[in-house]
Amino acid sequence: MFKIEFGEDGNIVCAGRLDAAQTRVAEAFLDSVSEPAVMDCSGLEYISSAGLGALLKTQKRLMAVGGGLKLVKVNNHVGDIFKYAGFDRIFEIEAAEG
């Protein structure tokens, strides 16, 4: 299961598994984001290459208008996926504490 929404603090909050079956849900939500944003990844358990593509598409669009997507509270597993994909050179990423 995958869930993406705005949290009470205005940040994007995602949770669950962002795989190919959930990419359309993520893209539909992220397409509505039009300014720099922070994505809380504390509940993100897994992300596939399709999910990475959705984030990259959003990052490119936001950077073209002077913004970007910051990924925060990233756990070690998802952080490794981001690092292997080279996302640490494209996104500002903050690891989860602890």
Query: Dihedral sign, CA of 7, 46, 93, 28?
Result: negative
Residues 16-63: pLDDT tens digits?
999 999 999 999 999 999 999 999 999 999 999 999 999 999 999 999
CATH of the domain at 12: 3.30.750.24
Number of domains in the chain: 1
Instruction: Give the range of the structural domain holding residue 19, as residue numbers without chain letter.
Output: 2-95
Structure confidence at residue 97 (pLDDT): 86
The whole model's pTM is what?
0.94
CA distance linking residue 49 with residue 77, whole number of Å: 14
pLDDT bracket for residue 9 (50, 70, 90):
very high
Distances (CA, A) of 79 to 53, 85, 87, 92, 93: 16, 10, 9, 12, 8
Q: What is the mean pLDDT of residues 85-95?
A: 96
The model's confidence at residue 83, banded by pLDDT at 50, 70 and 90, is: very high
